Structure 1
Amino acid sequence: MRKLIVFYLFTLSIICYADKWTLPSEITATSPDAQYFIKVIPGNNYGKSYSFEGAKINGYNAEASLYKVIGKSKFRLKSKFFLKNPVAPVDIYVNNQGKTITLDNWSNLGYGAIWVIYQTDGKVIKEWGLKDLYSDAEIDKIQRTVSSIWWRCDEPKLDSNTNKFTVKGVLEHEFSLDLSMNTLEARKQKNVCKDSPF
């Protein structure tokens, strides 16, 4: 009987829920002061995605085009560059200085480079993976689905006054990225969000 109970508890601990993602499509984002906007075309490098790992479906990563507004209905291409995302980011933002921020990978929340900052020329300034934000013990507690590890919740906030980008995490975590210094601060915050997206 004891062995049966242990096996039952072990089975519960590794349950993964099913989930469903819509097909990736073009993404756009505008800076708070409307002086920059970015357009992202999805890639087709599926073989580099966690969900398709090992599949011989290799191509190009997602491609971003950053534009600078120079007048009414006028803009010019500032830079064109490939993102770290094999297919597409889940979320993308651009601040008033033209820095691009991406969160997570399409169909693979919590895997790979989950948080990346790019300069206006497309060069990566910094990137973080899940283990940079949570301990191994904490990661084991985060809700999973077949494709993803649901480490965050709610809509991220880009504050143009403080130039800070805030993400609410599970397990009472809150992450604040200072875009002036490119530094990330993690702090404990009660009732930040539910520990499960379900």
Structure 2
Amino acid sequence: MKFIASLLLLFSFILDADSWLPPEPMAALSADASILVRVEPGVLPNRDASNKPHFAKASFFRWDHQGHYQPYQQLSLQNKVSPLLIYVSNQGELITLDNWYNSGHGDVVVLYKADGSVQKSFGLSAFYSRQQLEQLLRSVSSVQWRCYEKSPYLLQHEFYLPIRPAGVIKINLDDASVSLIDEDQSC
């Protein structure tokens, strides 16, 4: 009986191992510093008086060469609460990664065109076979699909995203094409 109680206690720690702090505003600067994007987290239902979800919002600012960033666009993101990471290109295209409180679920990568419209969104099935998906580690709220030891990066019009168990996804921002590169790389 002590063995069963110990085992249940161990499983309760494993299941509770997934915790999230409240999201905070975040910002990203393009490589040439011409575009600044600021993301304000959304509000989940029951967290405000309206009891309706408010999706995350992105505000875009352009450098005016007179010492200021001027606002030029605001849009609602597909993330109910907030993305985990954001990247912006020199042309103003936005890339969001993952979902706060639900990493690995839903649209894990969303590409927004410079005009704010969604170019393409990707779920995990765009990067993994069904068998590979079943092998990914999971917690109560998340799927461990990204390689956290290596950072994603944007180079010109190509976005590089390290994934588990090993490899790098390359996404072309011009046509949203996806390819797996560096399959032998360790995570």
TM-score, reference length from structure 1: 0.79
Give the structure 2 partner of residue 6 of structure 1: none
Give 1:165 shift: 0.9
Which of 164, 169, 183 in structure 2 is aligned with 1:175?
A: 169
What CA distance in whole angstroms lies between the structure 2 residues aligned with 1:68 and 1:131? 35
Give the structure 2 partner of residue 76 of structure 1: 70
Measured at CA, do residues 20 and 112 of structure 1 come closer, stay the same or move farther in structure 2, by a change above 3 Å? same
Q: Does 1:86 align with 2:80?
A: yes
Q: Does 1:139 align with 2:133?
A: yes
Measured at CA, do residues 191 and 46 of structure 1 come closer, stay the same or move farther in structure 2, by a change above 3 Å? farther
Give the structure 2 partner of residue 36 of structure 1: 35
Runs (4 or more) in structure 1 with deviation over 3 Å come to: none
Q: Percent identity?
A: 33
Instruction: Write the letter of the residue equivalent to 1:155.
Output: S
What CA distance in whole angstroms lies between the structure 2 residues aligned with 1:70 and 1:175? 34
8 Å CA contact 1:169–1:192 kept in 2: the answer is: no
Runs of at least 5 residues in structure 1 that lack an aligned partner in the other structure: 1-11, 48-56, 194-198
Query: What per-residue deviation string (whole Å, max 9, x for no partner) do you get for residues 82-120 of structure 1?
Result: 000000000000011110000000011100110001112
Runs of at least 5 residues in structure 2 that lack an aligned partner in the other structure: 1-10
TM-score, reference length from structure 2: 0.84
The structure carrying a bigger strand percent of its residues is 1
When the two structures are aligned, how many residues end up with a matched partner?
171
Q: Does 1:155 align with 2:151?
A: yes
What CA distance in whole angstroms lies between the structure 2 residues aligned with 1:17 and 1:135? 28
- Superposed CA RMSD: 2.2
Give 1:169 shift: 0.7
Give the structure 2 partner of residue 107 of structure 1: 101
Give 1:185 shift: 1.2
